[in-house]
Structure 1
Amino acid sequence: MQIAVVGAGIIGISTAHALAQEGHQVTLVERHPGPGEGTSYANGGQLSYSYVAPLAGPGVLSHVPGWLLRGDSPLRLKPSLDPALLRWGLRFIAACNRDRADRTTRELLALSFYSRARMEALREVSPDLAFSFARRGKLVVHREAAAFESARAQVGYQATLGCEQHALSADETVAHEPALASVRDRIVGAIYTPDEDVADCHQLCVGLFNRLRAMPNVMLRFNTGVDALWTEGRRVRGLKLADGEQIAADAVVMAAGVTSARLLSPLRIDPGLYPLKGYSISLPLGEGDVAPVISVTDAARKIVYARIGQTLRVAGMADLVGWSTALDTRRAQTLYDETRALFPGAMRANDAGADAAPWAGMRPATPTGVPVIGASPVEGLWLNVGHGALGFTLALGSAGLLTDLIAGRKPAISPVPYALAA
């Protein structure tokens, strides 16, 4: 089958790789010059297979007013009459309840566990694939007793779904990660997950790109914008490119992050996407820096810390500010300031912040946090979108699920939770 895949971030390139391995003739189309240069470029670096609790949790709405009044808050909202934001916001509010959050957790865990299995299989058959992978575990650090008790309850629930997690005291937390010693008196405890990983998402995109480039059944089209989907009636025929060229295909996979919304809108297909802008800084570690080895998430600040090789990647924020990709340097500065407060020993080589490499990316989020993977109302048009902050974690599982659906096989996990809502 001739299949065109739109988007070469971690979702699109994983999908193209899985389809090409099946023997399909794959054309991968990407507007950037290289793979993984959008949202996949400098994300948090954590492969959080067990930590998938949705943003739309039962207690999140009570925090929103306080967050909106703080300049350094983890959530920022720019008031707008954008219909897409209004629709997304109403659906998000409707999802902020315990039943929906538990259901979302079950659905995301099924996909994340499948993705972890596929990641392990990829690493086993491709030991030369270098992307700074390391299994170091993860600590979700809590500063507030009430939030910690809620997290302990979530651990109990997720244990029934196969997750191995442990609640640690403040002293036990510091014993696991000595880099937290200077803030021992400011934390009440942490949730520890031993089998979480870190890696460089962009490096994996490049590695998969190099494999695709060597495959005779793959055509790579970079620096190539897609103007529209080419359809006849309710059947996809391929892609219409920005330069007027058309690419014929038996099937098209939309995996272009937030850009997918623009391309799907003329066909009246709404997967419920809206960009959650996130930020990161990447701090090179020098000799003598005391940086965390275990991945750390600051639960109160919604900031993640991942040691990728000799770099400390710090990422966070969720800005609902429209579709602009512009970098707000104040948000990047907040990440820098929070790092200095939590890990002062990691800042010796970066005290001026000159090497922090600030970056912003547009996470393609659905209101519930569950991605949309599967068929669309247009015959031959398939979707793999809406992974939010979990794109790296869920990429390989999403690619495997969609490849099975396109082939007409029974997938390894149920596709029902990820189907496009009617």
Structure 2
Amino acid sequence: MGAGIVGLATAYELQRQGLRVTVVDQAQPGSGASGGNGAQLSYSYVQPLADPGIWAQLPKLLLSPDSPLKLRPQLDPQQWRWALQFLRACNTETSRRSTAQLLALAARSREGFERMLVAERLECDFSRTGKLVLYATPSALEAARRQLELQRAWGSEQQTVSPQRCVEIEPALADYRPHIAGAVHTPSECAADCLKVCQGLHRLLAARGVRFVLGTRITALVQSAGRLAAVQTGAGAIEADRFVLALGSASPALARSVGLSLPVYPLKGYSITLDVDRQADSAPQVSVTDAARKVVFARLGDQLRVAGMAELVGHGLDIPPERIDTLRQATRAVFPRSDTQQVAHPWAGLRPATPTGVPIVGVQAGGPRNLLVNTGHGALGFTLAFGTAAEVAQQAAR
């Protein structure tokens, strides 16, 4: 259930094991949160959003109209429950534990994704040019250095670099150098077009006999003797031996119908995609994250993906013009020689997040014995998809 990057990666791993697979979704592959995401594959820089530093930011989260992180209370008990669990997770011990789990999962995901790319030769603008995370103040850089040391203990290869070194690594940052206190450089990080990966997986899986039931809404889960017997859809009932719930932020509502409470709520994000001159230094080749603005920049061939913000504002997919203006302004600030007046392909997506940032994977206590969950990846859906897919496939094979 689900044809985003998480669902398709899972289908790929299950089909590799020789299982007969059916994929059901009311939309086309990759058209949800996968379609216009930040494109970065952040295998070594996975700091959870739930961090002790959030407490000092609460007034801005609640009140500021232009904060990159935004909380707007809704008449939704699920939102309130999630927000309280998130605040409880904003402590040092939980952040350390989540970081360790995410790094291990990311390493497994890198292995699976890159093995798939080599085997299948998907065209997806994949690059391995590394990533720079920019910090505007010495205090922010020092906090990043502490996180770097924590991640180094679990095998991440990163280093802090000076503003001058930033420009040497990425010449397109030359104009922005006075605003950089320093950065974390991770040479091994990658980027790719997630939508192209989804479309490529769809084509090759369909060619290998995976059945796709698309444009079809799931209306009910049919239970029998503690197990799922079928998924009821607009196209009829689909029976199976095992079921995987990978519907992103839509997963909790369906899970509740079979007695499962999943702590997943959407974090709304936005992106624009700009055409760039491949030969010019006006746009970066290296992936860049502006930590203060919570905006990421990723090169995808002749385009630049600019994405950011995390809003706890409900399930709407509207695109306020001021949020797109914020992304344009961030691009002009960091890369002032880039052309931000062109058609920018505005996009919004609902990233399914858990309070700790760690995805929910596998059979869940209290739920049907043959229902495996694979959701809650937050802003790391693309990064972690093949890691959680491998875990689900491993459990399904037992």
- 1:68 touches 1:75 (CA, 8 Å); kept in 2? no
String of CA shifts for 1:337-388, please: whole Å, max 9, x gaps: 11111111112xx3x2x41111000000000000000103212111001000
User: Which residue in 1 is equivalent to 2:336?
Assistant: 344
SS of residue matched to 2:174: helix
Q: Quick check: 2:73–2:80 contact (8 Å CA) kept in 1?
A: no
Structure 2: which 5+ runs fail to align? Answer: none
Which residue of structure 1 lines up, in the alignment, with residue 40 of structure 2? Answer: 46
Q: Please give the alpha-carbon distance, in whole angstroms, between the structure 1 residues aligned to 2:60 and 2:268.
A: 19
1:190 to 2:178 alignment: no
* Pair 1:277 & 2:263 matched: no
Give the one of 74, 84, 88 matched to 1:80.
74
> 1:136-183 deviations in whole A, cap 9, x for unaligned?
100000001111001011111111100000100111111111111112
- Equivalent of 1:404 in 383, 390, 394: 394
Q: Quick check: 1:65 aligned with 2:63?
A: no
Q: Are 2:217 and 2:233, in contact at CA under 8 Å, matched by a contact in 1?
A: yes
> What secondary structure does 2:318 align onto?
coil
* Partner-residue secondary structure (3-state), 1:28: strand
SS in 2 for 1:332: helix
Q: CA RMSD in A?
A: 1.2
Q: How far, CA to CA, are the matches of 1:356 and 1:15 in structure 2?
A: 31
Say if 2:128 and 2:189, in contact at 8 Å, map to a contact too: yes
Amino acid at match of 1:366: T
- 1:289: how far off? 5.8
On the 8 A contact 1:141/1:189 being kept in 2, the answer is yes
The residue aligned with 1:99 is: 93
- 1:71 Cα deviation from its structure 2 partner: 2.2
CA distance in 1 between counterparts of 2:357 and 2:330 reads 26
1:171-250 mapped onto 2 (5 Å cutoff)? 171-216=164-209, 218-242=210-234, 245-250=236-241
Structure 2 equivalent of residue 14 of structure 1: 9
Partner of 1:259: 250
Q: Structure 1 CA distance, aligned partners of 2:114 and 2:198?
A: 16
Q: Given residue 170 of structure 1, which amino acid in structure 2 is its aligned partner?
A: P
- In the superposition, the TM-score normalised over structure 1's length comes to 0.91
Report the equivalent of 1:329. Answer: 321
Q: Paired residue for 2:133?
A: 140
The answer on whether the counterparts of 1:238 and 1:251 sit within 8 Å (CA) in structure 2 is no
Offset at residue 328 of structure 1 (A)? 1.9
Paired AA for residue 138 in structure 1? K
CA displacement 1:52-92 (0-9 Å, x = unmatched): 00000111121121244332211112222311011101100
Q: Secondary structure at the match of 1:51?
A: coil
- Structure 1: which 5+ residue stretches go unaligned? 1-5, 409-422
TM alignment of 1:303-318, pairs within 5 A? 303-318=295-310
Contact 2:362 2:372 in 1 (8 A): yes
Q: Deviations over 1:175-223 (max 9, x none)?
A: 111111112111100000000000000000011111111113x211111
Equivalent residue letter for 2:268: K
Q: Is the 8 A contact 2:163 2:181 kept in 1?
A: yes
Q: Take 1:270 and 1:332, find their aligned partners in 2: how far apart are those partners? A: 34
Amino acid at match of 2:154: L
TM-score (ref. length: structure 2): 0.97
Q: Offset of 1:295 from its aligned partner?
A: 0.4
3-state secondary structure, aligned to 1:346: coil
Say whether residues 1:151 and 2:144 are aligned partners. yes
SS in 2 for 1:135: coil
How many Å separate the matches in 2 of 1:210 and 1:259?
Answer: 24
1:227 partner letter: T
In 2, the alpha carbon distance for the partners of 1:321 and 1:80 equals 7
Give the superposition deviation at 1:242. 3.2
Q: 8 Å contact 1:329–1:358 — kept in the other structure?
A: no
Match of 2:354, as an amino acid?
A: T
Q: Secondary structure at the match of 2:185?
A: strand
Distance 1:315 1:79 in 2: 23
Structure 1, residues 1-50: CA drift from partner, whole Å, max 9, x if none? Answer: xxxxx000000011011111111111100111x21011100100000001
CA distance in 1, matches of 2:158, 2:379: 21
Contact 2:171 2:281 in 1 (8 A): no
Question: Match for residue 290 of structure 1?
Answer: 282
Distance, in Å, in 2 between the alignment partners of 1:310 and 1:289 is: 12
Aligned to 1:268: 259
